[in-house]
Chain A
Amino acid sequence: MAVLLLLCVAMLTLYFRESDSGAVHAVQGGVLRVVAPLQNGTARATKPFRDAWNWTGDLFGAKSENAKLQKELEQLRAGLARELTTQDENDQMRLMLDMQRDQIYPDGVRLVTARVVAHSSTAWYSSTVTIDVGSGSGVQVYDPVVNGAGLVGRVAQTYATTSQVTLITDQQSFVDAMVQPDGAQGIVSGSVTGDVTLEYVDKNERLEVGQYVVTSGRLGSIFVRGIPIGQIASIGVQDVELYQSISLDPFVDFRKLDLVQVVTR
């Protein structure tokens, strides 16, 4: 056991001390190259079950929509899970295309469509996901990741065929943002609890619950301007604080992440 524990400590030490192109990361990337197609296949195979599970969860949370849910239940019972999955994917793709049509992204930007193939169930790492595109598709570290609803996060690490994405709910995620239509500037940051807040907004700015928050795209920001992030859910102002305390409702449902797009330059 002592040998195994020493090996673990050695791996951990190397992992955190070396750069992203170091030996341990390279081994992890090499293994991932083999595992990624399997993960992709499993993610696709289990999607109807995941959809059914999520659907069941929503069922309990929405008793008032009983009639609508009954209809969907009948559809599921009829074995339409696969068709529903395809339809769901089409809807996601359509939303992403709508964002492109709205010309949110500047010229010269390329969108690489990807699928979320894995995400951790550990509370400490629940704000990172793995997608099935990597440096081979032109994806680079810090590239923004979006879906039809808005900003998902940024690429944290890339391998040949996979990348790790840090979600905006992560406690080490910081996004330069502004409130629409006033233009008040701030930083959107995540937390260990998964809550998203807008920080460093001047106390004198007049904001209202429900206003939209988008990426500001200011000079030096890795995110292009205008990507929707969320809506203001609550605002707190204290006399002793310099800034307002603002919590956000992100547009993206991180529980159901599936198809995303990486914004590459």
Chain B
Amino acid sequence: MRLTRTAADRDQREWPSGGEIARLAVTLAVATLLQTTVAPNIRILGANPDFALIIVVCVALLKGAEIGAVFGFLTGTFVAIALMEPLGLSAFVFVLIGFLAGRYAETADLSAGFAPLVSVFAATLLANVLLAMAQYLLAREVPLGFFLGRVLVPSLILNTLLAAPLYLVVRLWLRGAGDLRVARAR
């Protein structure tokens, strides 16, 4: 996977149209609402789903690194504001995840159906490690057993399970039903 853009890549860059921006804005609002109002009340396998993270990965896979990073920044900022969490922490993590997932989509073959699952799994791992490191830097306790058993493993399983259905919904919303029909026909 290349992490840098070539001149040819830059020339080919397409900025989203007004319609696409509107769809992304709706996706952002839905991601924030799901994360702040629904996710805290759903507990499966001992973990809460991270809708915001999964949707950031889905958008990045579908729209590329730049849009993924900006979408991640906005999602992280809105979630932090709504939940009164430290401003900038979630945004930092989601920018990295949006960018890396986007670069993965731009440089790897996504025709295999497991790409969203792999991306969400890796993104959950990265996000949890970064958030645990941030807690450590903030002089809060981070017991390894708690982190592995109660945070990391349950969220890895849950987020990966949710990745496929959410990816389908986001893809349908951002690209329309025609795109799915084309993909199936291939």
Contact = CB atoms under 8 A, between A and B. Distances in A.
A35 B65 CA distance: 29
B167 interface: no
Contact of A1 (B69, B84, B135): B69
Interface string A11-50: 1111110000000100010011001000100110010011
A123 interface: yes
Contact of B88 (A1, A12, A193): A12
Nearest to B39: A121
Contacts, number: 124
Q: Is the interface of B mostly helix, strand, loop or mixed?
A: helix
B88 A11 contact: yes
Interface in A209-255: 255
Given A1-B69, A12-B88, A53-B41, A31 B81 contact: yes
Contacts of B38: 46
Interface stretch (B8-16, B106-114, B139-147): B139-147
A128 B140 CA distance: 14
Contacts of A4: 69-70, 73, 91, 95
A121 B33 CA distance: 12
A39 B140 contact: no
B115 interface: no
Contacts of B84: 28, 32, 118, 128, 130, 157, 162, 164
Nearest to A8: B92
A36 to B, nearest CB: 9
A192 to B, nearest CB: 5
B150 interface: yes
Nearest to B89: A12
A109 interface: no
Contacts of A49: 41
Interface string B50-90: 10000000000000011001100100110011111111110
